[in-house]
Structure formats: structure tokens, C-alpha cells
Amino acid sequence: MPCVGDWLNSPLSIVQGIFAQNVANSDWEKKVTEYFNEKLKENNATNWVPSLNDVPVHYLKPNSLVKFRCMVQDMFDPEFYMGVYETVDPNTNARVLHFGKYRDVAECGPQQEIDLNSSQTVTSERQTFYCVPVPGESAWVKEISYLTEPAYISASQARVSPSTSYTPSRHKRSYEEDEDMDLHPSKQKEQHMGSGGDIHGCVEPKRLETEASAGHHVIAPNCSPPLDLNFPLPGEKGPACLVKVYENWESFKVNDVLEVFGVLSVDPVLSIVNSEERDSSGLDPMECMDTAEEQRVHSPPASLVPRIHVILAQKLQHINPLLPACLNEEESKTCEFVSNFMAELSPVRAELLGFLTHALLGDSLAAEYLILHLISTVYARRDVLPLGKFAVNLSGCPRSSVFTEHLYRLIQQLVPASFHLRMSIESMNHWRLVPRKDYAANRLVSGLLQLASSTSLLIDETQLEQGQLDPAGVRNVTALGNLITWQKVEYDFNYHRMEFPCNINVLIASEGRSLLPSDCQVHLQPQIIPPNMEEYMSSLLTAVLPSVLNKFRIYLSLLRLLDYSISDEVTKAVEEDFVEMRKNNPESVTADDLHKMLLVARFLSLSAGQTTLSRERWLRAKQLEALRKARLQQQQSVNGNEL
Amino acid sequence: MSSPASTPSRRRGKRGRGSNPPTPQDARSPPSQKRRTDDSTSTGDLQPMPTSPPADAQSPGAADALFSSPPQFRHSAIPLDFDISSPLTYGTPSSRVEGTPRSGVRGTPVRQRPDLGSVRKARQVDLHSDGPAEDIVATEQSLGQRLVIWGTDVNVASCKEKFQRFLQRFIDPLDKEDEDIGLDLNEPRYMQRLQEINMVGEPFLNVNCDHLRSFDENLYRQLICYPQEVIPTFDMAANEIFFDRYPDSILEHQIQVRPYNALKTRNMRNLNPEDIDQLITISGMVIRSSQLIPEMQEAFFRCQVCAFTTRVEIDRGRIAEPSVCKNCNTTHSMALIHNRSMFSDKQMIKLQESPEDMPAGQTPHTVALFAHNDLVDKVQPGDRVNVTGIYRAVPIRVNPRVSSVNAVYKTHIDVIHYRKTDSKRLHCIDEETEQKRFTEERVEMLKELSKKADIYDRLALALAPSIYEHEDIKKGILLQLFGGSRKDFTHTGRGNFRAEINILLCGDPGTSKSQLLQYVHNLVPRGQYTSGKGSSAVGLTAYVMKDPETRQLVLQTGALVLSDNGICCIDEFDKMNESTRSVLHEVMEQQTLSIAKAGIICQLNARTSILAAANPVESQWNPKKTTIENIQLPHTLLSRFDLIFLMLDPRDEAYDRRLARHLVSLYYQSEEQMEEEYMDMAVLRDYIAYARGYVNPRLGEEASQALIEAYVDMRKIGSGKGMVSAYPRQLESLIRLAEAHAKVRFSEKVETIDVEEAKRLHREALKQSATDPRTGIVDISILTTGMSTTARKRKEELAQALRKLIQSKGKTPSLKYQQLLDDLRAQSETAITKEMFEEALRALADEDFLTVTGKTVRLL
């Protein structure tokens, strides 16, 4: 590959080149983005770019091009920087123009000084986002996005080592490990994984080493208490990043999932400058306008929180690496992929249904509803009403934690991002669900509910004991309720609250009816009671072929993105049906029930790959609802007898 | 001390050239010069060399003040930031504050304005080599009227003259501000202000930039672009006029002009590099304020050996400590004397953009403010303020050890003027901001819209389109959003009349009541949403807590106070506990909230409309019962609702059909169609905001008549059957509704059609909620007394029947309780419960007809 190394390894020199050519006119910035756009469009060039998600920061070359898949956790204030500046050599008085874009530090030669008052100086504006890896991202997403080409690209193109920047990691490996790798080529890849995606389950010696070195940064003398990287979910790892955006930053929102391509900046000078400032802050009131906390948060050591100067950024519709990143119809490749998959949709659905039926202890109705739930997504909002949310309350779950635990593991294997919220009095009282603005540090302190769009949230109520919620607990439960009913989270800004719309699939597992609201309650009727739940559930996953599992994943991610419509004809039929139902028994069917039925019908059609509602599907939806309701009534009467 | 000899050495012309727009940088000079009170440098006298003989000799008073009476100077003995060596002062020394005539003589000292020049130090970086020569040439070449300040197009003399003319002549009788109490609007406004300064002694002149703009567009532009140069000129102009008029006046320091309401920027998000060094006004909320920072302006050193003293200025935040005493040549003998160093007050404040300005899905921006001297501690966290100031960008200091520089600037605003949008002023400010918020076209569009005949229906339809039908309820909520006109009867002792309309929705669960509430909550800027279930009395009102940082008791306001001038949506109203509900009594009629907690006794404004939703007690609405019985709320509270709607599930085929179609359409409509409706929401919001801000309808003659008739009619309906169906409260409701309806039409006058609609809506609501289920007659007393008149009448009849029964028994002193009940039952054709019987007994006992003791009834 000619000159790939160039724009990958030293993008700034390319920018410098373009800048030098176009100093006179101001559109050099446009030319730069155009250039990189072109480069990245070339066949799979995006795969050449090393990803911060996979490769630890210290293996990446500073000032090289990197990509990062992340969620915008917080937005800092815009900053003004020297877009163009001039340096002067005090001896020769020679003046040179430089660009400050894509850089943190205004560079100048050893014998030069920056002329801060030059008339050539251009002040520009850029926006900083604090980005974290997508919270709750499943291990398989990381694995696949690192190991394989996107599935829709033919496997013939062998993967080439992403860039020279990663090679140092090999040199660092010990001799035995190298030998080891030669023997097990497959393990080599795992090693890559281990060193990059720290979330990978198995702990290997290699990983410990990298972690130790990462830990070393944390205990660096400059910041004695470890910096809270502000991940929404506990136990998350991976780099947090300060992403500097130069264009269209208004279009990005908090909690958006982005893929950014940009220049990695880990200049140690950044940390030094900051520590300097802190030293002198007592002397100079000009500099102490930010508190020490704010300093720490807004300019953390670059080794811990690297900076990325964005050249290209795009919002991601989904993070499933098995699907093409952008599902627009223009691209023939995408179309082909979609139509190919649609062709084999029904066997996949049948298999998935079977799989989930086993997982739900042989209850096929619940499995059906689970599929509907997993492909549901908020597709629109009508004034305040979110449309397309389908929060399911799976009641009648066995009280042992084993079942929900394994159910979660299973869901985790299917969806790209998920979180298991184990509700208990203790946890509700102590957890911070709702993000809160910390004015001292001037940042948004994340909470569990700051999740990216289409994250699956499994709320486990089975472990809930009797007890009293304190005010914080009540607030947390209210927040969960709001999330389910309105699909929004009210972030706490101390003086006021702000609503952030979200799109989170909530599945509530409970013994009886959940204390949280839900769109529909499905009572689990186990057909099999396995003697050893643990064994039974874990054997389920191992029984599924990886290729089949991948199909499930594609299935669930793809169907969410399909469009849907109802023809006039069917509308009429539905109307008739509704009127008829009401005539017989107005108490039994309300507007709410119609809502539910329409929802079920929508997802039922989509799950079969149909984008319009047919009469049969409508009847089937009605039938499902009737079955579900009958079950609930039965359950109620049973409970009533017990009492 | 005040040796003029030191001056020339300072004329290094320490000035840098900013990137945009270039401004001259003033260096520092000793305070003695700042306080130069040389009469010879009076107006018009152009003195190229400002190094005049020691001025203090001519004004011993001032000199005394400096050295012997520090208290008077604790603020003001700060060196002025205008360097004599700056071209500015060169060209027109008189144009500087220190040149103001008589200032020293009369004992009014000059005071430094750090708000105008604190950036200076950072800007003069490494430019010592540039001699002042060029600048001097540039300005000295034309000492006449064509002289401009270096780097700008500001001619000091003409600028001053224009501003003086502005002060002397500006009259705008139409523009009324809330501070204008006592001002004659037909007289020059700012001359009256100066008079005020003379009387009150607060040497600040606030100037509305809008006035300036209407007076002289060019001067306004100069002010916005070069505030650092123009404001001192204004200062001087104001002082000249002031001391001309009031030569005997003695102020704490000279008048400082504080412009406000610059139209440059309204929103923090719009700030961009072009605004640097310009005068801007932004609004926001204070989120953090620092402690007072004493900023050293000048350090005072004394030699330990020979007591020689010297002053050293702060240079870029550092003090260059003299290593050698100039007098005795001892090294390292100079010690800093804190008491004689000079400090100025400074405070760092963080301002966050107001929640209304934030685009959805983004986090708020913040900006740092520096307040100086007087403005320190003027605002507290939580205050909403409009700040006028100069936007600054400072490069982060060059690190001496590393050759490269952090390429980022730090930005802040030097505050010149605060305008709090606090509760006292809220009403006026709202109008003002609203005025600014709407563009001409928008207003035109809204007005155009208001002329449509069916605007009322249109708006009602645009309200919560996803909720099906319930048109009257939507109309009611619409009128609530507009609200009535605010009336003030304080002088007649009745206080404020409530202008807000309260609405209660009750009905079956699952009839999208919550959804309506959510919609309203999202629609209005100051909406609060609470649930009666979770909220306590304190959550609604206010509570006192200890601030974790300051450890002081602070009042945290609850939902009702927060929604002052807005709408407070309370869901599950019926689930609210008794004590919480009782709080609402005051709020819903008096529109205030009294708090007596932890030694804090106060009354807060809570001019909020309440939109509440309640579920029936028996989960399903029982049509056989009255509203009160269904929702179990005290009638005292219910009567405070202007409109009470029932949201029932209608059982009607046609309705079902339409509902089904509506719902189905929700499930496949495309994004674009949704978008369209979303646009409508923005229009609706603006429409309401405009009407609330501008339209203040008054009752017309006809309308008054119509209202009177309506009220009389309502009372008549009842009186025929021996009951009252309307109370003055209902009349007030009618008036409010009629006013709100007039507002919908953007009409300044309430007309008969408004009254008609108010009547209709009121009747509709009554029909739904105040119908006596036993008789089917609308009966307001269900709401006002909790019992329908028929029920009361029946009670009375029973008592009479009982009395007759007892009397018919002849002269028996006592009767058996059970016996009497049985007799009565046998006699009556309707069923008589024990309760009814007891009630009748009680009624008779009240009439002193009998007494009940245990199981016997004694006649009296």
C-alpha cells in the first residue's frame, strides 16, 4: 500500500502540506477534510486505522491517525485556540506561519518564539466532548470488530496488520509468548484482544502487565487520588477520551454514539503545562479561575485520557460490527447484504425462537414476546409520547438469581450493548442512576441510566427484599419509572432538571407484578423445571454454533432499523375490529389495549421481515395478546385463591 | 512618593496588539498620576505631555485622603489603568477620567475600573522591544478633531460630545422601565438619573444601550466594538456634565458609566471568536461564585536596612521583587509590606446558560465572569442574571521551561453591569426578554395567525395532537396557558386578584391524563411536573437545608415556587396526603406561599396555575356518585379550581372508530409528518409567550354586561329550585376565562364572544363535574359545600318528618331510639338509613327540640 503509512502515521504532516499550499486562501481546512475523506473511502481504509477501543494508548504512536467508537458522555465549553499563528526567531527575525488545528500545543522550533500579537493570528473555536466507550458494550462486539472484517465484506481480503504503530507491542512481548503464539495462531488474536479490550473475560498474564502499566499512570505523582473516568456503568474499562470537534458540533448530542477518526494527541507537555499552572495558581489570580477539581477533570493527564482531534466524525446508527456501519439504501453492498439476510430470515427467526424458548424454560409465548421486545425501538415521538417502546415485565421468574443471571448472559450474547440492573433496597438507595452536574468540577457526573440508544437494560426485581427506600431510593425508582414510561431521563443540574430523551429497551424480571410500570406483563409458565438451573442455562449457550449466534445478532440489530407502514385497508380492518370488540365488552378493551395490540402487531410483522401490517399478522397479534391476558387472569385467580 | 520623575521612565509603551480587534494596551503608572488633579488639564486643553507638576500640591485634601485617611480610599486608591504614555492620553489628556476638572478639588476621587482593562497584563507579552515611537507618531500627527484612538475609529472628543448630547437630550416617553419610578418620561432621562446620583450618592450611571442605539447608531457601534476605549470616554463625559451641574457634590468616586442591554449576543452559545474584546450582553444562571480575591495591584516594598520604600506593579501576575535597594545598595533587603500594598476586589463567577436557551440533548455551556470592586458579591449562585461585559480571551501563559505554548485561550467576561432577573422584576424582565426574542417576522406571523377566525380551535387542535378528542378539555388547558389579566387591588385592600386558571382533570385511569400533563409540562418554559404520590409538602413548597459548602441555612424552593409564572402539573392529586394538600389552599387563591421554618419566616410568590389530575377512589369512575364522592377531595380545595373536567371513556361506536383510526395512524406515520406537528409546537409556544407578554385585555362595557347577565342567570337557575348554582368565585372564573380567550385573539378588549365561550366552557365543565347524579341538575354546591342542595333538602325534610312523628306521639317525655327509627321507617316511603336518621336527630337537637342520651330521646 503506497503512502498509507503517511496519512496514517503522520496526518499532521499531510495537513501541513495542504496548509502550506493554501496559506493564502482560507479553505485549506476544507481541503484537509476532503483529503482524509477520500483516503478513508478507499477500499476498507477504515480498517487500517488502529482503534483506541482495541489498542492500548501507549501502543499507539502519538500524532497518528486513530479511530474511536464512543459515546458522548459530556460536553465541555467550547474553547478558542490559535487556528493560525506565527513564530518568530528572535535572532534572525524570520517569521513562519503555523496552523494550530488538530493540535493541543502550539509548536515552534527550538530557537523560535510565538508571536502572540501577530496580525496573522487567527482565533478559531472548537468543541470538546468527553467520550467514553459505549457503556455496556458486549464482549462480542469488541471481539468481532477487532478480529474480523465486517461480515459483509468478502473474507478473501486478508487482514493486514493495521498500521506500523501497533508493531511496538510485538517487540515488547517476551520471548516465550512469541513462541507460544507461533504454536497457537488463534491464541495470538486473543492476545491482541486481551491487551486491547480490557473487558475480555479471561485474565492472562499479558493483560495483567498492561494493566499494571496503566495503573502506573494512575499513581503518577501529579494526581495523587485516582481520576474518576466517569463511566456510566460500574466496572467499565477502556480509554476515556477528550474528543475535540472542529465542525458541526451542534449536530452531536449527549449520549450519541460516534465513530471518530482523528489525530491522537498524548503530548506529555499537556500534563506539564497543567501542573505548572497549578503550582502558580496561588500567585496568579488570572489562572485560578478554575478550581483544582475542574483542572483535573478538564485537563487530565494525556496518558490517561488521550485527546483526539477529529478530522471526521460520524454518528453510528448501531454498533453491531456484523452489520454495515451505515444502512442507507444507496450503497449496493448494503442492499445486497440486507436482501441476502432477509431471504433466510424465517429460519433464523424459528431458530431464535427455539433458542429463547429453551432459555425461558420452554415457554414459547414468553419467548415470542422477548423477540418482540428485543427488536423494539423508539421510532418517533409524538409530542411527549414515545412510540415504539415495548418494556416487558417478565413476571413469574424463579426466585433464584441463577435464572436471571443466565438470562442476562444470554441477552448479552445477542445484543450489542446491555446492562443488568440488580434491584435491591440497598442498591436503589445507594446507586446513582441519574447523571448529575458537578458544578465544582464543572462536569456531568454519570449515572447508570446514561446509556446509549438501544441499550438493553434488564432490571432484576427478583432479589428485592422487604425494606424501606430512602429519598434517594425513591428518586431512583421514579427515574426508572420515567425511563420506562416516557423514555427519558431527567438529569440533575442542581438548580434545574433537564430531560434527555433516550431509547432503552427495558426488560423487568420479577416474581409477581413489577413495582415499575411496563408496557406489557408476560407471566412466565415454565414447562421444564431443570434440576440444575446453572448447568441447564450455561449449556444453552455452548450448544449454539457461533455462526448461528451471529445470525441472531444480525437479525435483532437489523430488524430494528426497518421501516414499517400500515395500509388503509388494514387500518379499516383494525378499526372494525376495535369497534366490534368494544361493542361486546367495552370494559375489556380500552384505548390502551389497542395501543398494545398495534405495538405487538408492528413488531410481529417486523420480526417476520414484513414492513407492512397484514391481516394475518393482526389476527396473530390479537391472539398473542389474548393468550397473554388469559395467563395473567389465571395467575390472578390463583393468587386470589392463595390469599 | 508622587514623584513625577518616575513617569517618563514608564513610557515604554507597553502595549500589544490583539489579534482582533487590535486595541491599545495600557500600561501602568503610579497612582499619584492617576489621581492627578491638575486644573490645567481641563476640558479641551490638549496637553501632549501629561507629566505635570505634582498635582497633589494643589489638592491637599486629596493627598491627605490618600495617606492619612485610608478608609475613604480603601477601594479607590487603586491605580488607574490608563497609562499616561498610552497614545490615548497623549492625544487627549482631558478625555481621561483623571483629567476631569475639579474632581480633586471637590474631593471626588477617581476610581479605577478594573472591569475595563484586566486583560492588559496578559496582552503585553514580550513586546517591550517595540518602541512607542510609531504610536506616538500615529496619534500625534493630528492633534485636532480628526484624532482617533490607535487601532479604532473612535475620536475621543467627538465621542464625548455625542455622549454628552445623548445624556442631555435623550427622551423616550414610550419606553417605560421598571426603575423609572419617579422619572418624568418627557424630560431627558439621563439628566434625571444624574440628579438621582447627586441625591443618592451612588456614582454609577446605567445606560441602556438600546437608547443609545436609537439616539446615535454610530456611537452605539463604537461602544460595542471598542468598549475599552469608549466607556472611559463616556465616564468622563458624564462626570463633566455632573460636576458642571452639581459642583458641590461629593461622591465616593467619580461616576462610572455602566452600559447594559447590548444587543450583541443574547445566548452564550452564540459567542464566538469575533466577540472577543467587544461589549456583549448574555443571560444565564450563576452556578458558582468564588471567594473574594484581593488582587494585588501594586506591591509596596521597604528596605529593612534603610527604610527606603518603593512600589512595584504587578506584571503578568507576578511581582518583580527588587533584589537590591536603590538607596543603600543592600541586596535582598526589600520586604513586602502588605498593609501598604494596594489591592482590588475581584471575584470569579461561573455563569451557565439558562435552561431555556439550551438545545435539546446537549449539556449547558458555562462561561467565567470576573466581577470587580462593587460588583463583587452582587450575585449568588442560582440567580438568573443578564450580564453586560467585555468578552476576553487570554492565551494560557507561556511556560518558561517549555518552548511550546498551549494553543488554547482562556475566555472570560469582565463584568460591567449585572441585571438580575429576580422575582421582583420578573414580570417586567419577561416582557423585555420576550420582546427581544421575537423577530419582526415572527411577530408578524403570529399576528397574522391571530387574525384567523378559527384561531381558538386551531390552537386547541395543535395542543397535544397525539391525544385524541377531549376538545373541551384541551380548550380549557389552552385558556389556562394564556391565563387571565393580572389585576392589582392592593390599594383597596384586597391584594392581587388571581389571574391564573386552575384546572382539575379527573376520570378513569388510562385516559391519557398524565400524557396531557406531560405535554403541558413540556410546552411551557416554567413548567413543573410532580406526582402527588411522591411529593411531600416540603417538596411542593420550600424547605430549609444546610448548604454543604457554606454551612449556612438556605431555602430550597419546591415545585410550586419554581413554577412561579408557569404551570405546575400535579399528577395523582388524590394520592396527596392531607398536609400537602393544605399547602395548596393558599397557593391556589392568594398565589403566595408562607413559610415558617427554622427561623425563616417568609412569603414567597407562587403565581402558578395548577393543572392537576386525579383518579377516582374506586379506580373506576362511579357515575352514580358526585365528583366529591368519586375523588374524595375536600370541597374547599375543589372550589378553587376554575374548571373541573371529567375524562371518561366514552362508550360510543363512532368515537371508537375514530379513536382506532387515530391510534393506527400513530403507528406508521412517517417522520416528516411528525416533524410538521413538532413545528406547530414551536409556533404554539411562541404564540402563547407573545400573548402572555403583550396582550393584557380589559373588560369592555358589553362584555361586563354579558358577564353580569351570565352570573345572574347562573344564580337564577338555582334559585328557582331553592339552591344556589353560582358564587362570586364562579364569576371570577368566568372573567378569567373570558380574558384568556381574548388573549387568544390578541385582543386588548374582552368582548361578548369571549364571555360566550367562557360561559360555554364553564358550563361544560360544570355539567361534567357538578351534576348531581341523583337529580341530573347542575349544582355548584356540590363543589362549594360538598353536598348537593337536594341532598341537603332531603335531610331537612326528614328532620321535619321526624318532628311531626314525635309531635304526633303526644306528650311523652322520652322515646326509645330504636322504636322511633322503626316508626319513621314505617311512615316513610323511601328507605331510611340509620345515618340519615341520626342526622335528622342531630338537626332537631340543634333546634333544641330534643336531646339524645344513649338509647333514649328526650323531648325538651
Residue A216 clears pLDDT 50, i.e. is over it: no
User: In the predicted model, what is the mean pLDDT of residues B220-243?
Assistant: 84
* Interface test mutation site (partner B, options A496, A610, A613, A614, max chain B beta carbons within 10 A): A496
Nearest chain A Cα distance for residue B349, angstroms: 8
Tell me the residues of chain A between 99 and 158 that have a Cβ less than 8 Å away from chain B.
Answer: 100, 103-110, 112-114, 116-119, 121-125
Q: What digits encode the pLDDT tens for the residues B637-660?
A: 777 787 777 777 666 777 777 777
> What percent of chain B clears pLDDT 70, i.e. is strictly above it?
61
- B663 and A474: CB-CB below 8 Å? no
List CB contacts (< 8 A) between B382 and chain A. Answer: 495
At B58, the pLDDT band (50, 70, 90 cuts) reads very low
Tell me the residues of chain B between 11 and 50 that have a Cβ less than 8 Å away from chain A.
Answer: 16-20, 22
* Pairwise pLDDT comparison (B554 vs B429), residue with the higher score: B554
Tell me the residues of chain B between 295 and 334 that have a Cβ less than 8 Å away from chain A.
Answer: 295, 316-318
Model pLDDT, residue B611: 85
List CB contacts (< 8 A) between B393 and chain A. Answer: 80, 123
CB B789 within 8 A of CB B724: yes
Model pLDDT, residue A290: 55
Q: Could you say which of A109, A384, A474 has the minimum Cβ distance to residue B519?
A: A384
At B200, the pLDDT band (50, 70, 90 cuts) reads confident
Q: What digits encode the pLDDT tens for the residues B540-574?
A: 766 666 665 556 666 666 777 777 777 888 887 77
User: In the predicted model, what is the mean pLDDT of residues A557-573?
Assistant: 81
C-alpha dist (Å) from residue B813 to B411, B798, B858, B859:
96, 21, 6, 5
How many angstroms separate the CA atoms of A509 and A410, rounded? 14
B17: nearest CA partner in chain A: A117
List of E strands, A116-223: 122-132
> What percent of chain A clears pLDDT 70, i.e. is strictly above it?
77
Model pLDDT, residue B256: 84
Q: What is the DSSP string of A606-617?
A: HHTT-SB--HHH
List CB contacts (< 8 A) between A113 and chain B. Answer: 126, 403
Is B855 an interface residue toward A (CB < 8 Å)?
no
- CA-nearest of B717, B689, B710, B494 to B591 is B494
Model pLDDT, residue B424: 40
* Interface test mutation site (partner B, options A71, A80, A81, A299, max chain B beta carbons within 10 A): A80
List CB contacts (< 8 A) between A486 and chain B. Answer: 518
Residue B825 clears pLDDT 60, i.e. is over it: yes
User: In the predicted model, what is the mean pLDDT of residues B261-278?
Assistant: 77
- Domains detected in chain B: 143-260 (3.30.1640.10), 278-420 (2.40.50.140), 423-480+654-780 (3.40.50.300), 787-859 (1.10.10.10)
Q: What's chain A's average pLDDT?
A: 75
CB A28 within 8 A of CB A22: yes
Judged by average pLDDT, the poorest of B13-27, B348-362, B442-456 is: B13-27
Most confident segment among B166-170, B558-562, B786-790, B812-816 = B166-170
Residue A177 clears pLDDT 80, i.e. is over it: no
- B19 and A118: CB-CB below 8 Å? yes
CB A593 within 8 A of CB B649: no
- A118 and B397: CB-CB below 8 Å? no
User: In the predicted model, what is the mean pLDDT of residues B520-524?
Assistant: 77
Nearest chain B Cα distance for residue A79, angstroms: 7
Tell me the residues of chain B between 344 and 363 that have a Cβ less than 8 Å away from chain A.
Answer: 346, 348, 350, 352, 355, 358-363
Q: Could you say which of A109, A123, A575 has the minimum Cβ distance to residue B661?
A: A575
How many angstroms separate the CA atoms of A262 and A97, rounded? 23
Judged by average pLDDT, the poorest of A260-264, A568-572, B139-143, B434-438 is: B139-143
Omega before residue B381 within 30° of 0, cis: no
- A78 and B409: CB-CB below 8 Å? no
Model pLDDT, residue B455: 75
How many angstroms separate the CA atoms of A73 and A446, rounded? 7
**Which H/E stretch holds residue B555?**
strand B553-557
Q: Could you say which of B118, B358, B666 has the minimum Cβ distance to residue A387?
A: B666
Model pLDDT, residue B403: 52
Is A327 an interface residue toward B (CB < 8 Å)?
no
Three cell numbers, residue A403? 435464572
- A287 and B317: CB-CB below 8 Å? yes
CB B851 within 8 A of CB B845: yes
At B520, the pLDDT band (50, 70, 90 cuts) reads confident
Nearest chain B Cα distance for residue A486, angstroms: 9
Q: In chain A, what are the domain boundaries?
A: 11-149+234-272+291-315, 332-562, 564-642
Most confident segment among A264-278, A447-461, B419-433 = A447-461
The strand pair at B366-372 and A385-387 is best described as unpaired
Model pLDDT, residue B53: 39
- B273 and A124: CB-CB below 8 Å? yes
Q: Could you say which of A108, A273, A439 has the minimum Cβ distance to residue B406?
A: A273
Q: Could you say which of A283, A380, A598 has the minimum Cβ distance to residue B663?
A: A598
The CATH homologous superfamily to which domain A332-562 belongs is: P-loop containing nucleotide triphosphate hydrolases (3.40.50.300)
Three cell numbers, residue A488? 427519558
The number of residues in chain B equals 860
Enumerate residues 6+ apart whose C-beta is below 8 A from A604.
A372, A617, A620, A621, A624
Residue A176 clears pLDDT 50, i.e. is over it: no
User: In the predicted model, what is the mean pLDDT of residues B687-707?
Assistant: 79
Is B125 an interface residue toward A (CB < 8 Å)?
yes
Is B552 an interface residue toward A (CB < 8 Å)?
no
C-alpha dist (Å) from residue A507 to A355, A409, A450, A457:
18, 14, 17, 6
C-alpha dist (Å) from residue A427 to A272, A432, A472, B695:
40, 9, 10, 52
- A381 and B674: CB-CB below 8 Å? yes
* Pairwise pLDDT comparison (A563 vs B30), residue with the higher score: A563
C-alpha dist (Å) from residue B77 to B52, B115, B341:
20, 16, 10
At B837, the pLDDT band (50, 70, 90 cuts) reads confident
Q: What's chain B's average pLDDT?
A: 68
Residue B622 clears pLDDT 50, i.e. is over it: yes
Q: What digits encode the pLDDT tens for the residues B90-146?
A: 333 333 333 333 334 445 566 666 666 543 333 333 333 343 434 433 444 444 445
Tell me the residues of chain A between 65 and 104 that have a Cβ less than 8 Å away from chain B.
Answer: 74-75, 77-82, 85, 100, 103-104
Q: What digits encode the pLDDT tens for the residues B70-101?
A: 333 334 333 444 433 333 333 333 333 333 33
Residue A508 clears pLDDT 60, i.e. is over it: yes
Size of interface A-B (CB pairs under 8 A): 239
Tell me the residues of chain A between 493 and 532 that have a Cβ less than 8 Å away from chain B.
Answer: 493-496, 498-501
Nearest chain A Cα distance for residue B653, angstroms: 6
At A330, the pLDDT band (50, 70, 90 cuts) reads low
A382: nearest CA partner in chain B: B466
Nearest chain B Cα distance for residue A20, angstroms: 19
Q: What digits encode the pLDDT tens for the residues A377-406?
A: 888 777 677 888 888 998 888 877 778 888
Q: Residue for cell digits 409530542?
A: A383
Is B276 an interface residue toward A (CB < 8 Å)?
yes
Is B181 an interface residue toward A (CB < 8 Å)?
no
- A125 and B273: CB-CB below 8 Å? yes
Burial class (CB in 10 A: 0-12, 13-18, 19+), A110: exposed
CB A79 within 8 A of CB B409: yes
Nearest chain A Cα distance for residue B411, angstroms: 8
Model pLDDT, residue A225: 52
Is A26 an interface residue toward B (CB < 8 Å)?
no
How many angstroms separate the CA atoms of A604 and A606, rounded? 5
Q: For the beta carbon of residue B255, count every other beta carbon within 10 angstroms.
A: 29
Model pLDDT, residue B397: 56
Q: Could you say which of B19, B317, B399 has the minimum Cβ distance to residue A273?
A: B399
Nearest chain B Cα distance for residue A70, angstroms: 16
